[in-house]
Copies of this chain bind each other. A is one copy, B any other.
Amino acid sequence: MDEGDEHSIKKVFGEQVRRFRKAKGHSQEDLADMCGLDRTYIGSVERGERNVSLVNIYKIAIALGVSPKELVN
């Protein structure tokens, strides 16, 4: 588990979030509001810049109407 692995874990997670969000037809701001998180935070998650914590994984999953499993792969 090196730096590159960590990068791709975050990237894949972000891509999943973006994919599900777009499938639902929401903007980042819509999703952020549903999660109770900041718009710019959601943006940075989708870009793979954040090492999102367990609780926020659930918040995002719930807002997207999916299981947390589907986000972590």
Contacts and interface: CB of A to CB of B under 8 A. Distances in A.
Interface of A: 1, 5-6, 9-10, 13, 36, 51-55, 57-59, 62, 68-69, 72-73
B62 A1 contact: yes
Nearest to A45: B54
Name the residue in A5, A54, A62, A72 with the highest tally of chain B Cβ atoms < 10 Å from its Cβ.
A54
Given A72-B69, A73-B68, A51 B51 contact: no
7 contacts: A1-B62, A9-B54, A9-B58, A53-B54, A54-B57, A69-B72, A69-B73
Contact of A10 (B13, B55, B62, B69): B55
Contacts of A53: 51-54
